[in-house]
Amino acid sequence: NPATEQVIAQVAEAGVEDVDVAVRSARKALDGEWGHMKASDRGRLLLKLADLIKRDEEELVMLESLDSGKPVSAIRRQDLPAVIDTLVYYAGMADKINGQVIPARADALTYTVREPVGVVGVIIPWNFPLMIGMWKMAPALACGCTLVVKPAEITPLTALKIGELALEAGFPAGVVNVVPGFGKVAGQALVDHPDVDKVTFTGSPTVGRQILQGAAGNLKRVTLELGGKSANIIFPDADIDAAVKAAGSGIFFNTGQVCSAGSRILAHADIYDEVVERLAARAKSMRIGDPLETSTSMGPLVSEVQMNRVLSYIDIGRGEGARVVTGGARATDKGYYVQPTVFAGVEHEMRVSQEEIFGPVATVIKFKDDDDALRIANGTVYSLAAGVWSADIARVHRFARQLKAGTVWINTYGPTDIRLPWGGARDSGFGREHGDMAIENFTEPKVVWINTGR
């Protein structure tokens, strides 16, 4: 428990052999009852799982909070509803995965069907264990795949509970396998396994690259969602109140451990000081504390490693000459809490402005005009998300077109919806999750060509 530094559970560590057993069980399930099930019945199982999650909601909230340090209020408000929405959405899609009749020739009936891609390795990070896990599991199951799920070593509890609930819901044994363990061992074994057809991963670019290399062995299909250093751009003609409020939650929500965190706040020179000052006030007003208290708005970082990583970035920022306006240190002696931190005087080239910190650290960067904002916003290796605040309709459309990002938010920051494609490019990875694009990730098209003669 990162809030107390206490051990809350002992979890078995899957080794290479365990992963192999899980993959074989997933392969077998693919050829059994599951493989012959009506698509609408797969949808019904997903709905049933949603009902069981609703029934056990409070247990899941507690597990997720104790394991990750996320405030219960946020899990209740955001993660759990998103998990259920995801299941209901893909439940409805299970029997709408259509092929096409494509009239290629006069002497043939030619059509396509979409078959499940097969055994899917699902590798989950610790920042949204339940929600990101379900973003991957629900569409894969809707498509008829079977899963081997490797949760992050430090947050395995809710994935194990979901495995239990999947069995209770009636998914045949072997359809959902959960292998808690270390990334280097269990994760790597899954990635290297010759009988895994696809890996879907969310996490760091470093591991993303390792996954691509491992996947080369049997040419697994891969989807990678690898985070970012997203720009949130504020112009003087924006609603500054709303912009600063959203910029605050854009970086401090989930203690900054969000792939699309608005970690670079780009403020126009005319309002720079005002934005810095107001953002600092918002940082100071965050209610840091026990994640189990409903009034808490910010919990600890997920682990000691992550806390030290964030603190070392704060040192790096200071060393580079950026100014800590508020925060900048551990918040408590016990628990991995770091004060919400605002850096001003940040230059675009600094490491704190280029590298993903994954903590409650806002960097505020000054820009002078539209071109300058665009140059800075697009000037990292990432390409996941961006935000623009302005009342100028031509400007926001121009930015929507020119920003390099998988999602551009205009006069808002951060919302996601399972109906909308999610993902990025360059070091943010490739492929899109969510919506019907996820169906492409988990199906393989097949052409059937019937010679009819003429």
Of residues 309 and 330, the one with the C-beta less far from ligand NAP = 309
Residues 174-213 that bind ligand NAP (CB under 6 A): 182-184, 187-188, 191, 202-204, 207, 210-211
Q: Is 259 designated active site? A: yes
Sheet holding 198-202, edge to edge: 176-178, 146-150, 119-123, 198-202, 221-225, 429-430
* Closer residue to ligand NAP (CB): 303 or 326: 303
Show the tokens assigned to 25: 């069980």
5 belongs to the catalytic site: no
Does 414 participate in binding ligand NAP (rule CB under 6 A)?
no
Nearer of residues 213 and 294 to ligand NAP, judged by Cβ: 213
CB of 263 to ligand NAP, least distance (A): 10
Distance, CA of 333 to CA of 32 (rounded, Å):
54
Buried-state track 268-283, b at ≥16 Cβ within 10 A, e below 16: beebbeebbebbbebb
DSSP letter assigned to residue 338: B
Q: In the bound complex, what is the minimum distance in angstroms from residue 149's beta carbon to ligand NAP?
A: 10
- Give the nearer residue to ligand NAP in terms of CB position, either 114 or 150: 150
288 SS3 class: strand
Q: Nearer Cβ to ligand NAP, position 127 or 230?
A: 127
Choose the catalytic residue: 225, 356, 433, 440. 225
User: Which segments of 355-428 are extended strands (E)?
Assistant: 361-367, 385-389, 407-410
Residue type, 103: P
CB 184 within 8 A of CB 204: no
In angstroms, what is the minimal distance from the CB of 129 to ligand NAP?
9
Spatial separation of the C-alpha atoms in residues 45 and 50, rounded to whole Å:
9
- Residue 124 as a binder of ligand NAP (CB under 6 A): the answer is yes
Taking residues 231 to 260 in sequence order and writing x for each that binds ligand NAP by CB under 6 A, - otherwise, the string is: ----------------------------x-
Decide: is 148 part of the binding site for ligand NAP (CB under 6 A).
no
Name the residue with the smallest CB distance to ligand NAP. 183
User: 39, 144 in Cβ contact below 8 A?
Assistant: yes
Residue choice 69, 125, 317, 387 for contact with ligand NAP (CB under 6 A): 125
Contact between 87 and 46 under an 8 Å Cβ cutoff? The reply is yes
What is the contact surface with ligand NAP in residues (CB under 6 A)?
Answer: 123-127, 150, 152-153, 182-184, 187-188, 191, 202-204, 207, 210-211, 225-227, 259, 309, 356, 358
Q: Which residues participate in catalysis according to the annotation?
A: 225, 259
